Amino acid sequence: MFKRFVIVVGGVLVLLGGIGYIKFQQIQAGMAQLANFAPPPATVSAVEAHTVEWRPQLTSVGTLTAIEGIALSAEVSGTVDEVHFKSGQKVSAGQLLLTLNNDVEKATLASYKAQAELAKIKFERNKDLFKQKSISEIEFDQSSADLKVANAMVQQTEANIAKKVIRAPFSGTLGIRQFSLGQYVKNGEEFVTLQDVSSLYADFAVPEQFLPRLYDGQEVLFSVSAAPNQEFRGKVTAIEAKVDEQTRNVSIRAEVPNDHGLLHPGMYADIRLLMKETVTPVVVPKTAIVYSPFGDAVFVVDNDDQGATVAKRVYIQVGEQRGNDVAIVSGLEAGMQVVDSGTNKLENGTKLILSDAVRL
């Protein structure tokens, strides 16, 4: 019995050993195939890194304001008698906009004119009497003063009547009317805005370290969300004489033409302030850059020891981006071939097939 058991166990061990040997040979053969395996070349497109001439620029954000912009209001209170404009209307300097009721002032003016006329008659009569020494100098001076007071009251009333008529102080575009005909408005109460938008100011700020590079007439480029595909140009007209103590920024004001009326006061603007000098950075398309937490890189077209075309990862320092071009601060030289399409399937040493057909 025991002998039979030993024979069975020995047979099983021999069988397992044979199976293990066969599997070992299969694994060895697979590892050999894997060691000799070469991935197929990746088809990519490449461009040559080149230099361009750029003017350095500072980026900022700003707000557009009207060169002339006010909220119109009356200096005196009164009831609206006549309205001579519509909301959103373009007006010229001196154009009549609004008339307040002036019936009381007209009646007062008539009274003061009558008093002034009487005071003048008394003054002329007293002047003759004073020459004849029929009245004292004090009486003559009193009549002269009464005439001046009467004339002053006439002028004051005429000035009050004039304040009941509101005219446009400059040419521009009116906003939305804030009152109705017949409404009583108080002095100083806003009734409409007036903006001269033929040109606008762009107000923005830059860090204080750039103050030595700022100057009057400096060129400014900017864009607004209302016209995203259009670039506007202006020139610096004023630089604040004092640096803000809280932000350590210096305020700048640029004047921007608005010939087509696309810009409006209060708009948010993306500002680019151009420096006077020029630089010549090496640039590549933004699609060529591989961003990662370990550092930004590009894949350069290179040759391995067998002369095959392969990808070589080169770590770079990225600078300013303008449109589709990105400036490379360091790590890349002009003339190098850089992969600009298909970088997602590359590793260091991947064999390449160059083709423009894969370019996006």
* Per-residue model confidence as pLDDT tens for the chain (360 residues): 556 666 666 666 666 666 766 776 666 655 655 555 456 787 888 889 999 888 888 889 999 999 888 899 888 899 999 999 999 899 999 999 999 999 888 999 899 899 989 989 988 888 888 788 878 888 878 888 988 998 999 999 899 889 999 999 999 899 999 888 889 989 888 999 999 988 999 999 999 999 999 999 999 999 999 888 889 999 999 999 999 999 999 999 999 999 888 899 999 999 999 988 888 899 999 988 998 888 899 999 888 878 788 889 999 999 888 888 899 988 898 999 998 888 888 888 888 888 775 555
Q: Are 44 and 354 in contact (CB under 8 A)?
A: yes
Integer Cα distance of 198 and 263 in angstroms: 9
pLDDT for 37 equals 46
Integer Cα distance of 316 and 84 in angstroms: 66
**Nearest residue to 99 via CA among 194, 181, 156:** 181
With a CB cutoff of 8 Å and minimum separation 6, the contacts of 251 are: 203, 204, 205, 239, 240, 244
217: left (phi over 0), alpha (psi -120 to 50) or beta: left
Integer Cα distance of 284 and 331 in angstroms: 12
- Burial (CB count within 10 angstroms: exposed 0-12, middle 13-18, buried 19+), residue 204: buried
* Residue carrying structure tokens 């020995």: 10
Residue 245 identity? E
Angle at CA 220, nearest 5°, toward 217 and 225?
A: 150
**What are the two backbone dihedrals, phi and then psi, of residue 327, each rounded to the nearest 5 degrees?**
-80, 140
Q: Are 249 and 206 in contact (CB under 8 A)?
A: yes
**Nearest residue to 165 via CA among 76, 257, 247:** 76
Q: CA–CA distance from 85 to each of 95, 166, 196 (Å)?
A: 9, 11, 16
Q: CA–CA distance from 98 to each of 79, 101, 105, 195, 358 (Å)?
A: 11, 10, 17, 17, 68
pTM over 0.85: no
The helix (H) or strand (E) run that includes residue 64 is strand 57-73
Instruction: Enter the DSSP assignment of 133.
Output: T
pLDDT for 25 equals 66
pLDDT for 32 equals 56
With a CB cutoff of 8 Å and minimum separation 6, the contacts of 59 are: 270, 271, 272, 273
- Burial (CB count within 10 angstroms: exposed 0-12, middle 13-18, buried 19+), residue 160: middle
Query: Structure tokens of 335?
Result: 């003339």
